[in-house]
Amino acid sequence: MPVHLVVTRSQGQPQTVEIPVSAWFTGEKRATVRIPREPAIKTIEIDPKREFPDVDRGNGVWPR
């Protein structure tokens, strides 16, 4: 499955980032996403539309 991320900047503008499903075809379990640090990052959220089952939705947002 692809991974959807929303990066929210300190100025409030959201940026959508997607890790494509092809990233997992070789059996990888991790992927690296490079996001410019400016403007400052406020939060990063995994699966913001809640499309995938998740037992603990509280651990999908990282405040900065």
The alpha carbons of the chain give a radius of gyration, in whole angstroms, of 13
Indicate if the pLDDT at residue 45 is higher than 70: yes
Indicate if the pLDDT at residue 64 is higher than 80: no
Tens of pLDDT, residue by residue over 9-41, are 999 889 999 999 999 999 999 999 999 989 999
63 pLDDT tier (thresholds 50, 70, 90): confident
Q: Which sign, positive or negative, has the C-alpha torsion 17, 53, 49, 1?
A: positive
**Contact partners, residue 25, CB within 8 Å, separation at least 6:** none
Q: How far apart are CA 20 and CA 41, in angstroms?
A: 22
